[in-house]
Amino acid sequence: MTIKETIDQIVSEFGYFDDWMDKYNYLIEMGKSLPMIEEKYKVDSNLITGCQSRVWLHADLEDGRIFFTADSDAVITKGIVNLLIRVFSGHTPQEIVEAHTDFLDSIGLKEHLSPTRSNGLLSMMKQMKLYALAYKTKLESDAS
């Protein structure tokens, strides 16, 4: 599935929710299946700043594709991270760097995107793109 297809799927899933309770329950469920970060990567240098809750994010490159693992001390945050992981994990650095990320607007999580002290969603997304950019650069220099 392409990044675009996953995003469309998430947007359509969110379309079924009538109220915030459904949405939060969905995120809580999503949090439970989060690909957990290995304990050794749960270190301060992998902490994403700007979140009210602590979020650790790690990226591995396998066969030219990036796989993310993460954890958070807050349940809803886990769900949100997993949503992003579902979108980006398993794609090439190039695909992740070029992906459009405005889909969060249409699923009613827009307020989580505001770049304030309390909201780290933007920071998470930025961090994922930074990992992709770093791997993209690495792959290009390895190839040359």
26 binds another protein (CB under 8 A): no
Among 17, 24, 41, 67, binds another protein (CB under 8 A): 24
**Phi-psi map region of 105: left, alpha, beta (phi>0 left; psi -120 to 50 alpha):** alpha
User: Which residue number, 54 or 65, has a Cβ lying nearer to another protein?
Assistant: 54
20 binds another protein (CB under 8 A): yes
Residue of 51, 84, 87, 128 with catalytic role: 51
Active site includes 51?
A: yes
Q: Distance between CA 73 and CA 62 in Å, rounded? A: 27
Q: Distance between CA 38 and CA 67 in Å, rounded? A: 13
Quick count: other Cβ atoms within 10 Å of Cβ 73?
11
Among 11, 36, 61, 76, binds another protein (CB under 8 A): 76
What minimum distance in Å lies between the beta carbon of 4 and another protein? 28
Quick count: other Cβ atoms within 10 Å of Cβ 51?
22
Q: Using CB under 8 A as the criterion, which residues of the chain lie in contact with another protein when the complex forms?
A: 20-21, 24-25, 28, 52-54, 73-77, 117-118
